[in-house]
Homo-oligomer: A and B are copies of this chain.
Amino acid sequence: MEARIEKIKQQLQSQGYKLTPQREATVRVLLENEEDHLSAEDVFMLVKEKAPEIGLATVYRTLELLNELHVVEKLNFGDGVARYDLRGDNNKHHHHHLICVQCGSMQEIQEDWLGPLEERLEQEFHFTVIDHRLDFQGICKHCREKEREREQQAQKDDNADV
């Protein structure tokens, strides 16, 4: 944890930025909630618990800065709010999202499935890939089971009606 903060501090300083207390608090919140996809508002509320004097604009400015430095990745799942994900050490994200259209849950796949495709892009399209984004919308395991139960229940009800 401390090591990762130190690293981010150096990334900031190498570009002439400082790791102020507010920025550090923001980074800590991101580290502590690494598995989530927090919105700026989410981050703001969590940071406020530790540093109540912080302003929302500062959080936005910090997240934008971290995004430029590729410390976080700004994601957009189409719900009108930007979400921020800490990036791994390689500054490239190799994970994909499974978004359930029924319950809204989101699962991550921590593998990169696109290596062969990126090679093909380079060769066939002369396009140099820097980053990618792969999301799937669908029905998650959990909702699919519930759906099945509901169908069975409906069937019983139908039979009872007759």
Binds B, one of A1-9, A42-50, A125-133, A151-159: A125-133
Secondary structure at chain A's binding surface: helix, strand, loop or mixed?
Answer: strand
A109 touches B125 (CB 8 A): yes
Q: Please, which residues of chain B bring their CB within 8 A of the CB of A98?
A: 121, 125, 127
B131 touches A138 (CB 8 A): yes
List 6 additional contacts besides A114-B134, A127-B136; criterion CB under 8 Å.
Answer: A98-B127, A101-B130, A129-B136, A129-B138, A132-B136, A133-B133
C-alpha spacing A40/B48, complex, angstroms? 36
Among residues 106 to 141 in chain A, which have CB atoms less than 8 Å away from a CB atom of chain B?
A: 107, 109, 113-114, 117-118, 121, 125-141
Number of A residues near B (Cβ < 8 Å) is: 33
A139 touches B113 (CB 8 A): no
C-alpha spacing A99/B77, complex, angstroms? 17
Q: How many copies does the complex hold?
A: 2
C-alpha spacing A144/B121, complex, angstroms? 14
Q: Please, which residues of chain B bring their CB within 8 A of the CB of A139?
A: 127-128, 130
C-alpha spacing A128/B100, complex, angstroms? 9
B131 touches A134 (CB 8 A): no
Q: Which of B113, B118, B135 contacts A117 (CB 8 A)?
A: B113
Q: Please, which residues of chain B bring their CB within 8 A of the CB of A82?
A: 78
The answer to whether A118 and B136 touch (CB under 8 A), given A125-B98, A125-B107, A125-B109, is yes
